C-alpha cells in the first residue's frame, strides 16, 4: 500500500511530441516543417541527427499504444504535426494526415487511454516560415484555421486540447538564441513572436468554443520557480525580473488577459516593444482556458548582473544534476504549483511534462535507471504535497514515454521510460517503466 495516495481520478500519463517520435517525414503527404529544414542544416543538431526516422512511431503506433496499455497509462499526451494536416500551412488539407491521428485516437480509446492532444509542438510548416513565420501576424490566423480542421476531425473523441507547447521556448530558443528552429538570434523578434503566439492561442481557443464540442482546452507553459541566489536586495529584484520574463510574460496573458506591466515597460525600454495592435489584448482576454498545463524540469537561481541585458544572470544550483545539466530540485515543483494556485485564481492544473535524462546504459538487455526512479518519486511527492495544500492538480504526464529526438541534442539524451534501440527500433522497458507501472496501479508512491 503506498504511503502517499493520489486522488482517485488522478490522470497518470506520459507525453511525446510528433517530430520527436514519428519519423516518416516525407510520407503520406506530410509537408516540410521548420524542424526538417533546421535538422538538415549542418551544425545545428548534435551528431547531425534528424527526426527523419526518430522512433518510427508513424508506423509503430499500434505497438506503442500496446506498451501504454501494459504500463496502465490513464492518459497519453501527444502532438499533432501541422504539416501532416495542412502541408503548406494554410489551404489544402492532407486526408492521410488526418487518417493517422484518427487511427491513433481510436486505438488509444480502444485501450482505455484518454488522448490529450497538443496542436503545436514546434512544427511550423516551412512554407509559412518562408512568409515570416511567427513574426507574421497572419500565422496566428492560419494556426486557428488548422486547429479548427483538427477539432472537427477529432473533437468527438478528443476532449482534452492543448493549443501550444512552451511558447517561451518557441520564442526564445528559436528566435533569440538560435538554438532551435528557425534559428534566429534577435531578442526583439522573440518578443514579437511571443505576442503572435499568444494571439494564435487565443484564436484557437475561440475556434474551439465556437464548435461547442464540450471538451476542455488549455495551453502548456514551461514554468519554473525563480529564487535569488543571495540575500542582497538586488538579487531579489533580479529574481523578480527573471520571474517576469520567464513565467509572468506567458502566464498573465492567458490567465489574466494582460501582459505584466513591469515586463512590458522593460521590453519597451530594451527592445522594440511587441507589436500589440488594438483589440489584441481583448482577444486574448476573451479566450479563457479551462486548465493550465505546466512543464517543470528544474528551478532557476539568479543573481543581479547589471552588465547583463536584463540585469540578471543564472547561477548554477548546488544540487545533483541530470544529463541535461539541470539541477534536480523537486521543491521547486511544489513552490510553483502553490504559487500558481495562489496568484492565478486556483486554476485546474496538469503537469504536462516532468522527467529527466540520464545516461541509461543498456547492459545485458536491461536498463537500470535508479536516478530516474528517484527523480520521479521526489517530484511525485512534491506534487502530492501541493494537492494536500489545496492545489487543483488533476494529472501528471511523465516526459517521456520513449527515448526520442531531443531537439538540438539529437538522440544523445534519453528521457524515456522506455529505451529505444534506434538501429533496431526495439523498445526496452527501463526499470523506471516497471516502477511507474506500479505507481499507476497503486495510485501513489
Ligand atoms: N529538453 N527537454 C525535454 C523536453 C523536450 O523534449 C520537450 O519537447 C519540450 O516540450 C520540453 O523541453 C522539454
pLDDT in tens, 330-387: 999 999 999 999 999 999 999 999 999 999 999 999 999 999 999 999 999 999 999 9
Please give the distance, rounded to the nearest whole angstrom, from the Cα atom of residue 172 to the centre of ligand 1: 14
The atom number, within ligand 1, closest to the CA of 122 reads 8
Q: Is 327 helix (H, G, I), strand (E, B) or coil?
A: strand
CB 129 within 8 A of CB 189: no
Please give the distance, rounded to the nearest whole angstrom, from the Cα atom of residue 378 to the centre of ligand 1: 19
pLDDT in tens, 181-222: 999 999 999 999 999 999 999 999 999 999 999 999 999 999
Question: In angstroms, what CA-CA distances link 304 with 191, 231, 268, 329?
Answer: 22, 11, 21, 22
Return the sign of the alpha-carbon dihedral for residues 411, 146, 347, 302. positive
The residue behind cell 516502477 is 435
Which mutation among 407, 413, 416 tests ligand 1's pocket best, with the greatest number of atoms within 8 A of CB?
407
Burial class of 169 by CB neighbour count within 10 A (0 to 12, 13 to 18, 19+)? middle
Any atom of ligand 1 within 6 Å of the Cβ of 165: yes
Bridge partner list, 295: 222, 353
Any atom of ligand 1 within 6 Å of the Cβ of 403: no
Beginning with the edge strand found earlier in the chain, give each strand of the sheet holding 312-315 in spatial order.
Answer: 226-228, 300-304, 312-315
The bridge status of strand 160-165 relative to strand 114-120 is parallel
Q: Walk along the chain (445 residues) and give the pLDDT tens digit of each residue.
A: 788 899 999 999 999 999 999 999 999 999 999 999 999 999 999 999 999 999 999 999 999 999 999 999 999 999 999 999 999 999 999 999 999 999 999 999 999 999 999 999 999 999 999 999 999 999 999 999 999 999 999 999 999 999 999 999 999 999 999 999 999 999 999 999 999 999 999 999 999 999 999 999 999 999 999 999 999 999 999 999 999 999 999 999 999 999 999 999 999 877 766 688 999 999 999 999 999 999 999 999 999 999 999 999 999 999 999 999 999 999 999 999 999 999 999 999 999 999 999 999 999 999 999 999 999 999 999 999 999 999 999 999 999 999 999 999 999 999 999 999 999 999 999 999 999 999 999 999 9
Any atom of ligand 1 within 6 Å of the Cβ of 415: yes
Catalogue the active-site residues.
Answer: 166, 353
Compute the C-alpha angle 180/183/185, nearest 5°.
Answer: 115
Domains in the chain, CATH or no CATH each: 11-442 (3.20.20.80)
Shortest CA distance to 254 belongs to which of 345, 320, 181, 193? 345
Q: Which residues contact 152 (CB under 8 A, 6 or more apart)?
A: 211
Burial class of 361 by CB neighbour count within 10 A (0 to 12, 13 to 18, 19+)? exposed
Return the sign of the alpha-carbon dihedral for residues 224, 225, 230, 236. positive
Please give the distance, rounded to the nearest whole angstrom, from the Cα atom of residue 109 to the centre of ligand 1: 26
Any atom of ligand 1 within 6 Å of the Cβ of 135: no
CB 44 within 8 A of CB 409: no
Amino acid at each position: 500500500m503506498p504511503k502517499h495516495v493520489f486522488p482517485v481520478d488522478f490522470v497518470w500519463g506520459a507525453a511525446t511530441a510528433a517530430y520527436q517520435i514519428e519519423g516518416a517525414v516525407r510520407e503520406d503527404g506530410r509537408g516540410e516543417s521548420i524542424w526538417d529544414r533546421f535538422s538538415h542544416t549542418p551544425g545545428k543538431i548534435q551528431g547531425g541527427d534528424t527526426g527523419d526516422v526518430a522512433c518510427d512511431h508513424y508506423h509503430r503506433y499500434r505497438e506503442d499504444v500496446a506498451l501504454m496499455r501494459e504500463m496502465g497509462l490513464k492518459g497519453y499526451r501527444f502532438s499533432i504535426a501541422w504539416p501532416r494536416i495542412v502541408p503548406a500551412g494554410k489551404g489544402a488539407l492532407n486526408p492521410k494526415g488526418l487518417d493517422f491521428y484518427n487511427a491513433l485516437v481510436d486505438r488509444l480509446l480502444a485501450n482505455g487511454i484518454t488522448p490529450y492532444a497538443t496542436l503545436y509542438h514546434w512544427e511550423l510548416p516551412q512554407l509559412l516560415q518562408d512568409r515570416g513565420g511567427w513574426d507574421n501576424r497572419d500565422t496566428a490566423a492560419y494556426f486557428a484555421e488548422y486547429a479548427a480542421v483538427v477539432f472537427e476531425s477529432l473533437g468527438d473523441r478528443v476532449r482534452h486540447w492543448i493549443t501550444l507547447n512552451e511558447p517561451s521556448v518557441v520564442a526564445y530558443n528559436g528566435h533569440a538564441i538560435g538554438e532551435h528552429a528557425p534559428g534566429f538570434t534577435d531578442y526583439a523578434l522573440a518578443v514579437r513572436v511571443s505576442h503572435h503566439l499568444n494571439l494564435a492561442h487565443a484564436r484557437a481557443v475561440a475556434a474551439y468554443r465556437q464548435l461547442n464540442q464540450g471538451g476542455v482546452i488549455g495551453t502548456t507553459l514551461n514554468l519554473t520557480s525563480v529564487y535569488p541566489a543571495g540575500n542582497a536586495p538586488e538579487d531579489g529584484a533580479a529574481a523578480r525580473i527573471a520571474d517576469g520574463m520567464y513565467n509572468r510574460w506567458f502566464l498573465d496573458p492567458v490567465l489574466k488577459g494582460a501582459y505584466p506591466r513591469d515586463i512590458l515597460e522593460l521590453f519597451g525600454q530594451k527592445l522594440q516593444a511587441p507589436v500589440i495592435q488594438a483589440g489584441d489584448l481583448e482577444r486574448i482576454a476573451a479566450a479563457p482556458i479551462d486548465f493550465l498545463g505546466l512543464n517543470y524540469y528544474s528551478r532557476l537561481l539568479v543573481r543581479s548582473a547589471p552588465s547583463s541585458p536584463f540585469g540578471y544572470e543564472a547561477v548554477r544550483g548546488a544540487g545533483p544534476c541530470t544529463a541535461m545539466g539541470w539541477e534536480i530540485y523537486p521543491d521547486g515543483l511544489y513552490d510553483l504549483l502553490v504559487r500558481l494556485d495562489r496568484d492565478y485564481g486556483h486554476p485546474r492544473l496538469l503537469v504536462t511534462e516532468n522527467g529527466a535524462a540520464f545516461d541509461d546504459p543498456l547492459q545485458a538487455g536491461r536498463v537500470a535507471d535508479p536516478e530516474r526512479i528517484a527523480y520521479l518519486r521526489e517530484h511525485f511527492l512534491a506534487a502530492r504535497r501541493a494537492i494536500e495544500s489545496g492545489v487543483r492538480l488533476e494529472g501528471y504526464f511523465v516526459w517521456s514515454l520513449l527515448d526520442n529526438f531531443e531537439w538540438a541534442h539529437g538522440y544523445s539524451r534519453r528521457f524515456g521510460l522506455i529505451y529505444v534501440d534506434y538501429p533496431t527500433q526495439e523498445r526496452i522497458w527501463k526499470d523506471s517503466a516497471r516502477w511507474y507501472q506500479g505507481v499507476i496501479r497503486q495510485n501513489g508512491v
